[in-house]
Structure 1
Amino acid sequence: MQPTLTHSVLLFIWVSLLASSFIVSEHVLPYASPVAATWLRFLLTSVCLLPLIRFGTVFNVGSKQLVKYAVISLFLVLFFVGLFESLKTTTAQRTAVIYTLLPLISVFISYLLLRVTPKAKQLFGFLLGILGAIWTLLVAQTDLQLTTTWLSGDSVFLLSCISLAIHVVLTKKWVSTQPPLISTFFIVTIGSVLLLPLVILYGHPEHIAWCNGTFWLNIIYLTLFTTLGTFFLQQYLLKYFSPNAFLAATYLVPALVVLFQGIGRLGALTACLPAFSITLIALYLISSKA
């Protein structure tokens, strides 16, 4: 199935929600550990979907499909665990730069698992996308400090990005024919089960600000929009986009984060325009069929 303009708009909504999660997640950190907050997002998403699954949908999921859901969910959990672990020995800014490699990693994973071979100008588009995204980060974050020293946390996060790329490619391979509602429910439910031991051991659930209103407002937003919304859109859009084209949209994340941070950063927005233009050219080349 070929994507239409509507699907492209939905893809932009998906990447916008993804970008907003970076900002909102930062506001949650004073109230809960990252592991605990992620587990809550998964758990509450499952609870929100349960009535729809129980009363609104007829489905038949076999044991083989459940195993596939579990594997897909495992790679997603490994990404989050690796992200949290990497931040012990590296910085969020360095991980943001490494994250720009995700679409290119997807190219190699797609070739290995789906036998999808990108064209030369698409590969050039991926390289342009990395340039545009890193340029945006360098302009928007004037205090961004990169060194030639490769830290252990950088290696951990690079492995995490590989895990996330595998998650997306396997979703395309195993789940694209399944109803998005069903696949989203099983992936987040299994993910919440897999995360539970980590929450108990390392998530400090006793320190969660259960009675804080700001905490719950942020968690509800993350649950409804950046977890439920992005997961559902991902399952739906992967029916129409290849994993490579889908993840290429993440090149827009740095520019969208700067945009969402407000008019106070108007100077940064203006300075990012050349980098944003390069990113748009990259997306055009990646999505090109000829």
Structure 2
Amino acid sequence: MLNRTGAAEGRLGEAGKGHLAMLGFAMIVALSFPFGAMVGPYIDPAVLTAVRFAVAAAVMWALALGAGQAEVRVFRAPWRYFALAGLFALYFVTMFEGLKTAEPVSMAAVFTLNPALTAVFGWLVVRQATTARMALAIAIGGAGALWVIFRGDPSALARFEIGRGEQVYFWGCIGHALYSPLLRRLNRGEPALAFTAAILTAGAAILGLWAAPDILATDWAALPPVVWWVILYTALMATGVTFLIMRFATLRLPSAKVMAYTYLVPSCVILWQLALGQGAPAAAVLPGVALTVISLLLLLKDEDAHRS
């Protein structure tokens, strides 16, 4: 009895760590949206993403070597890293491309469609079932996302007027949603730092080849300082750290619950925009943001119900 009780407490502790990690994930990801909007006019999205992947990979390999995690088994079946990296490369490139024309809060709302997509991929890839409460929460969150995407205008929804930026970014979100369950499927117990470094290296290789002409054509010396700050932030925090968080949380929580924290991103984007002096979004979109927060609370309540 004591052993079973102790084991249950250990599992609950691990789940709690996964939730805490995803709160940090939401704040880190949210800041990428206003930052991305700042640098959109100055650098090609594929070039920016290739550089951030390369910088993040170098840092992660250094940490992995320092921690003694660069084991031989990490380099087995390298196709796995290219498969996972391709999905995230698609996500990041479409994100910065979309931010050229879409508002950060609207883009963050598109990001909140990920739990519904992840629930589908979670079942297809690793047969993770979705409970009735999770399905309800996902539906509410999806409704909130649509409200923000269409800017609280029912007539725009009726005409299905979606901006080009949101359309482009949606394809990246499909890749992001597939990443979480596919990581669970392809992970073979490799150390976290080395596993993340390998994915980032594969991503840098993919985008380095894809964007080679644009990389060579970029006038790096003429870029304003804000571009370099955003490259560092996105490389170290929004790429490296979030990769580690995703891997950490995915191995402790169901994929749909991991992605449920994307519902916090629009609210976090609003907070970051206010902090950066970029102003608040139109009041018409706030009910949609509120629905996304309700969705997260429903999913957390579902977690508590399973604990009791």
Q: TM-score range, shorter-chain basis?
A: 0.7 to 0.9
The Cα offsets for residues 114-157 of structure 1, whole Å up to 9 and x where unpaired, read as 11111112101001112234445666x99xx6642568876654
The aligned residue for residue 126 of structure 2 is 114
Cα separation, 2, equivalents of 1:198 and 1:225: 24
Q: Aligned AA for 1:24?
A: F
Contact 2:113 2:145 in 1 (8 A): no
Contact 1:75 1:163 in 2 (8 A): yes
Deviation at 1:39, TM superposition (A): 0.9
- 1:141-290 alignment, distance < 5 Å: 147-149=159-161, 157-175=169-187, 177-203=189-215, 205-209=217-221, 212-262=224-274, 275-287=288-300, 288-289=302-303, 290=306
Q: Which runs of 5+ in 1 are unaligned?
A: none
Cα separation, 1, equivalents of 2:26 and 2:94: 22
Q: Which moved more, 1:52-61 or 1:10-19?
A: 52-61
Deviation at 1:218, TM superposition (A): 2.3
The aligned residue for residue 9 of structure 1 is 20
The Cα offsets for residues 42-65 of structure 1, whole Å up to 9 and x where unpaired, read as 010111122223343242226643
Q: Which moved more, 1:15-24 or 1:172-181?
A: 172-181
Q: Flag the 1:99–1:6 CA change in 2: closer, same or farther, 3 A.
A: closer
Q: Does 1:54 align with 2:65?
A: yes
Contact 2:46 2:211 in 1 (8 A): yes
- In angstroms, what is the RMSD of aligned CA positions? 3.4
Q: Which moved more, 1:72-81 or 1:231-240?
A: 72-81
Q: Percent identity?
A: 25
Cα separation, 2, equivalents of 1:107 and 1:15: 18
Deviation at 1:177, TM superposition (A): 3.1
Q: Aligned AA for 1:280?
A: V
Cα separation, 2, equivalents of 1:252 and 1:47: 30
Q: Which moved more, 1:65-74 or 1:34-43?
A: 65-74
Cα separation, 1, equivalents of 2:39 and 2:278: 22
Cα separation, 2, equivalents of 1:265 and 1:31: 19
Cα separation, 1, equivalents of 2:160 and 2:219: 37
Q: Which runs of 5+ in 2 are unaligned?
A: 1-10
The aligned residue for residue 39 of structure 1 is 50
Q: Which moved more, 1:32-41 or 1:147-156?
A: 147-156
Deviation at 1:8, TM superposition (A): 2.0
Q: Flag the 1:188–1:265 CA change in 2: closer, same or farther, 3 A.
A: closer
Cα separation, 1, equivalents of 2:66 and 2:25: 27
Normalising by structure 2, report the TM-score: 0.78
Q: Does 1:123 align with 2:145?
A: no
SS of 2:77's equivalent in the other structure is helix
Contact 2:260 2:299 in 1 (8 A): yes
Q: Flag the 1:277–1:5 CA change in 2: closer, same or farther, 3 A.
A: farther
Cα separation, 1, equivalents of 2:167 and 2:230: 30
Deviation at 1:171, TM superposition (A): 1.1
Contact 2:98 2:168 in 1 (8 A): yes
SS of 1:61's equivalent in the other structure is helix
Deviation at 1:67, TM superposition (A): 1.9
Cα separation, 2, equivalents of 1:74 and 1:268: 33
Q: Which moved more, 1:68-77 or 1:279-288?
A: 279-288
Normalising by structure 1, report the TM-score: 0.83
Deviation at 1:196, TM superposition (A): 0.6
Cα separation, 1, equivalents of 2:185 and 2:148: 32
Cα separation, 1, equivalents of 2:75 and 2:280: 54
